[in-house]
Amino acid sequence: MTTHAAETMKGQEEEYRVVALRDVYETTKNPRRHFDKQEMADLTASIAQKGQLTAGIGRPDAKGRIELAAGARRRRAIEALGLASMKVIVRPMSDQEFLDVIIIENGQRADIHPLEQAEGFKRLLTESRYDVPTIAERCGRSEQHVYDRLQLLKLVPIAQDLFLERRFELAHAVLLSRLPREVQAELVHIEDDGYAHGELWSRESVSDLFAADEHDQQRLKPISPRELESWINRHVRFSIDDETVPQLFPATVEAFAKAEAAAQKVIPITYSHQLHDDAKDGKVRTYGAQSWTRADGLEESVTCDRSVLGYVAAGPRRGEAFLICVDKKKCEVHYGAEIKEAKRKEKVRAQAAAGDEGAKAKVEKEDKSAALKAKKEEQAKAVRMRAAGPLLDAVKSTIAKLSDKALVAWAWARVRDGELWRHWDSPLAKQKTPPKNSTELLRTICLDGLLDNHENVSAGVERSFDALLDDAESIGVDTAKILKAAAKDPAAAKVPVKAPKQNKTASKNKTAVKSRPRTVFMAPMQPSPELAAIVGSAPLPKTEVIKKLWAHVKKHGLQNKKNKRLLNLDAPMQAVFGAKPVISMFDLAKGMTKHLSPATP
């Protein structure tokens, strides 16, 4: 069979040929670079058994060889089998027509990777000068499909590599591609040892912890796309300037345009009571759920003449925009009762100032009521802090009694939430005696992660106490009974947040003993010389070490301004954290623990 295809094609539009394999080559214009090994093996086996059923498509070059537009996988399979020729439909094509075949016809194949299809669409935009509607029409796809594919090219290199390896799905890739590059890198980050720190990853299963093979212990899989979207809503602040907004939030773009035309104020809001630190903007107030009222007439709301445009900056319904009212001093429609009460109080106080005895009595009564309310709130907080120790004791004893099945179910729910198996340096992990069996190992891990999660309870952090209550109730601890017992102590309101000093009467007062923060958190620890350069050389509880480290971070402005979850380390901090220039907040606690040892009595 002659290889001079160009000569035999003169005057012909298309010809079916069997061409010597040495005269057929893959074009460099094909964006496809990734060939799945298993799919290639299946194709090779199919050609070996049935022969080449579908011809490739190519054009003759100036030397008479055939440049393939479609059929690169078939050529590789034929070459692997040692065959001498392949079937090709040869047709004369201009560069424009050739590129159309490569991108459009190949793009119809189910096995084309979305990233490679994206590269093809980009070439049609830049080389063929097509616009998105034209590409969509020629490929038989929607415009949104083309936009989504092009958006994939904004994935950071490590995310593209992982996507090509099929480590996560297309839905994950689309969500990731809409994020800032530094957030993408943080989400997909995997440590060199194979253990994941990025929020995209979760453990394959609880049973992996007991795998004999080390490689099996390091298997990772992504959280679900819905979980990733939820994480993005909580952690990534919405910005109208993001280039993906017009495609994702067209109604919001329209609302912003109308507000600008009407010179209407625009303010960020959230349905949450508190934003995650990652989603906060230190320069702009974000109005929480109790600070605004919907005012566009939708979802059972009523309109008013004092409304402004609010957009959800983070949390549920992130990116939505609608009219809201925040004028609690003047809007009678939404805040009439509050305004009326404020006027009443102002009038009474004015009368009292003028010497009205009845008004004075009312003011005195209201002040006493407010003081009593504040006192009760302080007492309630003190009761919760007193209950922390007994709650942790109850959790520990309950976990010790749980069956394997209950332990797995309870622990796995927290693995999915990212609460366990990230604190390998906590005190229980350092125990010298190894677990006797898988049950004891699982129990230790559950308790280990839980205690490390709740170390801030002893420092008086309210949200930590709420989380402890949830964990305790989830394994059957009678939290109401413990809180009731703590409330009966008459000294509850006076109990300080920090650990009380031990006194001679402590042994006689069992309640006082229980109220002390757990030793596991408050035991004095000796800092290493590197850590001592920051926190001092005196033995300190772990909670105090954390406070001093954070004081150092704030004093020297080490928190990353764009991503508050990252810290830019100075020289003293780098000495503690292995000369790393940047670490995450999780690494702060992890690295600190390595520089602490039990203080010598």
| Position 416 confidence tier, pLDDT thresholds 50, 70, 90 | very low
Q: How far apart are CA 295 and CA 310, in angstroms?
A: 10
Three-class DSSP category at 24: strand
**In this structure, are 425 and 486 located in the same domain?**
yes
**In this structure, are 472 and 417 located in the same domain?**
yes
How large a percentage of the chain has pLDDT more than 70? 77
- Looking only at the bridges linking them, the beta strands covering 56-60 and 85-90 are parallel
- 438-453 and 404-416 helices, crossing angle to 10°: 40
* Position 118 pLDDT exceeds 80: yes
Question: Looking at 175, 199, 231, which one is the last position of a domain?
Answer: 231
DSSP string, 277-337: GGG--TTS--B-GGG-EE-SS-TT----TT-EEEEE-SSTTTT-EEEEE--TTT-HHHHHH
* Position 417 pLDDT exceeds 70: no
Q: How far apart are CA 241 and CA 238, in angstroms?
A: 9
Residue 401 lies in a domain: yes
Query: What pLDDT is stored for residue 193 in this prediction?
Result: 55
287 vs 207, more confident = 287
Residue 510 lies in a domain: yes
Query: What pLDDT is stored for residue 194 in this prediction?
Result: 54
* Among 24-33, 492-501, 518-527, the range of highest mean pLDDT: 24-33
Question: Looking at 89, 112, 135, which one is the last position of a domain?
Answer: 112
Q: Which of 174, 160, 175 is nearest to 228 (CA)?
A: 175
162 vs 434, more confident = 162
* Among 42-56, 163-177, 407-421, 549-563, the range of highest mean pLDDT: 163-177
231 vs 581, more confident = 231
| Position 107 confidence tier, pLDDT thresholds 50, 70, 90 | low
- 479-488 and 462-474 helices, crossing angle to 10°: 130
Residue 127 DSSP one-character state: T
Mean local confidence (pLDDT), 281-286? 91
Task: Note down the domain range covering 422.
Answer: 372-518
**In this structure, are 308 and 172 located in the same domain?**
no
Mean local confidence (pLDDT), 54-66? 87
Mean local confidence (pLDDT), 296-306? 93
* Position 493 pLDDT exceeds 50: no
**In this structure, are 403 and 509 located in the same domain?**
yes
**In this structure, are 460 and 484 located in the same domain?**
yes
Provide long-range contacts, Cβ within 8 A and 24+ apart, for 200-208.
200/168, 200/172, 200/176, 200/228, 202/415, 202/416, 202/418, 203/415, 203/421, 206/408, 206/411, 206/412, 206/415, 206/442
Query: What pLDDT is stored for residue 511 in this prediction?
Result: 39
Query: What pLDDT is stored for residue 5 in this prediction?
Result: 35
Q: CATH number for the domain including 538?
A: 1.10.245.10
Give yes or no for a contact between 360 and 348, defined as CB atoms under 8 angstroms apart.
Answer: no
Distances (CA, A) of 281 to 178, 179, 238, 268, 284: 20, 17, 11, 10, 6
pLDDT in tens, 433-471: 556 666 776 777 777 666 655 555 554 555 567 777 777
Residue 138 lies in a domain: no
21 vs 443, more confident = 21
**In this structure, are 30 and 89 located in the same domain?**
yes
* Position 255 pLDDT exceeds 90: yes
Q: How far apart are CA 485 and CA 387, in angstroms?
A: 8
* Position 429 pLDDT exceeds 50: no
**In this structure, are 212 and 254 located in the same domain?**
no
Query: What pLDDT is stored for residue 553 in this prediction?
Result: 87
- Looking only at the bridges linking them, the beta strands covering 308-312 and 266-269 are parallel
**In this structure, are 396 and 534 located in the same domain?**
no
Question: Looking at 489, 518, 547, which one is the last position of a domain?
Answer: 518
**In this structure, are 14 and 105 located in the same domain?**
yes
Query: What pLDDT is stored for residue 344 in this prediction?
Result: 92
* Among 149-153, 216-220, 469-473, the range of highest mean pLDDT: 149-153
Mean pLDDT of the chain: 78
Weakest mean pLDDT among 286-290, 325-329, 552-556: 552-556
* Position 159 pLDDT exceeds 80: yes
**In this structure, are 424 and 512 located in the same domain?**
yes
* Position 285 pLDDT exceeds 50: yes
Query: What pLDDT is stored for residue 110 in this prediction?
Result: 54
Query: What pLDDT is stored for residue 381 in this prediction?
Result: 82
Q: Which of 558, 542, 555, 550 is nearest to 598 (CA)?
A: 542
Mean local confidence (pLDDT), 201-211? 49
Q: Provide the whole-model pTM.
A: 0.55
pLDDT in tens, 498-531: 333 444 443 444 333 333 444 444 577 888 888 8
**In this structure, are 388 and 490 located in the same domain?**
yes
Residue 130 lies in a domain: no
Residue 145 lies in a domain: no
Q: How far apart are CA 443 and CA 404, in angstroms?
A: 8
What is the count of structural domains for the chain? 5
* Among 1-5, 109-113, 354-358, 579-583, the range of highest mean pLDDT: 354-358
| Position 179 confidence tier, pLDDT thresholds 50, 70, 90 | very high
Residue 19 lies in a domain: yes
Mean local confidence (pLDDT), 45-63? 87
How large a percentage of the chain has pLDDT more than 90? 24
Residue 338 lies in a domain: no
Residue 119 lies in a domain: no
| Position 195 confidence tier, pLDDT thresholds 50, 70, 90 | low
- For residue 582, the cross-strand partners are 568
Q: How far apart are CA 15 and CA 412, in angstroms?
A: 61
Mean local confidence (pLDDT), 554-574? 82
Mean local confidence (pLDDT), 18-26? 89
Query: What pLDDT is stored for residue 428 in this prediction?
Result: 46
Query: What pLDDT is stored for residue 108 in this prediction?
Result: 59
**In this structure, are 189 and 79 located in the same domain?**
no
217 vs 101, more confident = 101
Query: What pLDDT is stored for residue 382 in this prediction?
Result: 84
Q: CATH number for the domain including 46?
A: 3.90.1530.10
Q: Which two tokens stand for residue 1?
A: 């069979």
